[in-house]
Amino acid sequence: MDRTIHTLKFPLFPRSIPLTIYVSYREGKMFRAGLSAVLWVSALSLVGLAVSADAISERARKLHFSSIVVDTHDDTTQRFLDGKFDLGTRSASGSIDIPRMKEGGLGAIFFSVWIPSRITGPEAVNRALVQIDAVREQVRKHPNDIVLATTAAEIREAREHGKIAALMGVEGGHMINSDLGVLRSYAALGVRYMTLTHTGNTEWADASTDKAAHNGLTDFGKDVVREMNRLGVMVDISHVSDKTFYDALEVSKAPLLASHSSCRAICDAARNMTDQMIKDLAAKGGAIQINYHVGFLSQEFRDAEKANPELNKAINADVMKLCGENEGCQLIEGDRITREYVEQGKLPRVDFTRIIEHIDHAVKVAGIDHVGLGSDFDGANMPYGMEDATKLPKITEALLQKGYSESDVKKILGENTLRVMAEVERVSREMNAGK
């Protein structure tokens, strides 16, 4: 989750969305549902060439829907908490639900367990447990569509049964309350990665967006990493300071994951990774999962926000008025309201092709085996053209158009993540066997 700048997805048919996008969205959706030739032709004639810019080729569609697409970071969990959201029902807001995951060919999703880093102690543990339960309950209610998975093999098995695999990641080490027993309990409940920090330092690790207090990881922080290795819980270095990253890289026996980080060389956010970090992460087998948040994709967007801090204050005030303390609502409304500001010309419009730019840069730096997808859906501000999970085939289309081979596209879509998971599992087995 990355709503330092609020967050949210817009309604499916927003008033102000340009005709071309509106039509192509309907067209894509209806095509999959079996659109009649008459409607198809009339949609084409309406928008002419604009359709082809947004259309998915047969080759891309085939490749996309035969691949296992894995997204390692989604904040939809927050929406489960007020009891009104049902994962099985198509929602008019936000980015993720079962119908839209199916439509976009999303095969495995890591639901983020997140609370703000200022909440610590037993309350942080309690709230994490409530969220873990909420994810498990949503999955339990939809047994025909989605199944809890904890390993790479279980993701493949879910796929064989035509189901979406649901996984969990704890976003912020503050939720273990400096207790390895709590970490072990989360692992037993199915959590398969933990982000060492969120935006604030923990008692044992420095964050990228806080003042350094520990010079990276403390001795206990290193114990946390070792215990995660033993448990087979991926060490997630999104959000951590550069020094914490290097400490974790040195201590960890298993590859690291950046579950939702983009490239600092393109957009200078402390949360993004430098080229050197991406190289060093890859050299030890890890993967960077590109984050779709506009403030991490686009330097122009970042600069515009910085140049006018009053805008963020105004957006946050609007969000608080609508949502109060309801964090799920804040995430969704933040993105929607930000989109309104873009429509009014107050913030720059960021296109989804920036995601492709970051993927391509990371591949050039790290190699094709070390890059994947970590959207931050339902927890950040999405670019135009990537409003929800139904848009995911556009990534496959764009990568093919850029000249990526089909096997390389499959790696980016999910195979790299599955490889990192399998490697983390192997290290865990070996440590438990005393090797």
Given the rule CB under 5 A, which residues bind Zn ion?
A: 1-2
Residue 24 or residue 289: which is nearer to Zn ion going by CB?
289
Report which of 140, 211, 216, 230 is spatially closest to residue 173, judged by C-alpha positions: 216
Residue 75 or residue 103: which is nearer to Zn ion going by CB?
75
Angle value at C-alpha 432, between 128 and 165, nearest 5 degrees: 45
User: Least distance from C-beta 2 to Zn ion, angstroms?
Assistant: 4
| Long-range CB contacts for residues 313-317, cutoff 8 Å, separation at least 24 | 315/5, 315/6, 315/341, 316/6
User: Least distance from C-beta 23 to Zn ion, angstroms?
Assistant: 33
**Contacts for 273 with CB less than 8 Å, ≥ 6 apart:** 245, 258, 261, 262, 263, 264, 281, 288
User: Least distance from C-beta 301 to Zn ion, angstroms?
Assistant: 17
Residue 186 or residue 404: which is nearer to Zn ion going by CB?
186
Residue 47 or residue 332: which is nearer to Zn ion going by CB?
332
User: Least distance from C-beta 377 to Zn ion, angstroms?
Assistant: 11
Residue 110 or residue 404: which is nearer to Zn ion going by CB?
110
User: Least distance from C-beta 424 to Zn ion, angstroms?
Assistant: 20
Residue 333 or residue 397: which is nearer to Zn ion going by CB?
333
Q: What is the sign of the dihedral through the CA atoms of 247, 75, 184 and 257?
A: negative
The CA-atom distances, in angstroms, between 271 and each of 177, 251, 396 are 23, 21, 26
User: Least distance from C-beta 260 to Zn ion, angstroms?
Assistant: 6
Residue 1 or residue 17: which is nearer to Zn ion going by CB?
1
Residue 132 or residue 147: which is nearer to Zn ion going by CB?
132
Residue 98 or residue 175: which is nearer to Zn ion going by CB?
175
User: Least distance from C-beta 295 to Zn ion, angstroms?
Assistant: 11
User: Least distance from C-beta 389 to Zn ion, angstroms?
Assistant: 18
Residue 105 or residue 295: which is nearer to Zn ion going by CB?
295
User: Least distance from C-beta 73 to Zn ion, angstroms?
Assistant: 7
Residues 8/94, Cβ–Cβ less than 8 Å: yes
User: Least distance from C-beta 149 to Zn ion, angstroms?
Assistant: 21
User: Least distance from C-beta 380 to Zn ion, angstroms?
Assistant: 8
Report which of 99, 111, 100, 102 is spatially closest to residue 71, judged by C-alpha positions: 111
Q: Which residue is nearest to Zn ion (CB)?
A: 2
Q: How far apart are the first and last CA of the chain?
A: 37
Residue 1 or residue 101: which is nearer to Zn ion going by CB?
1
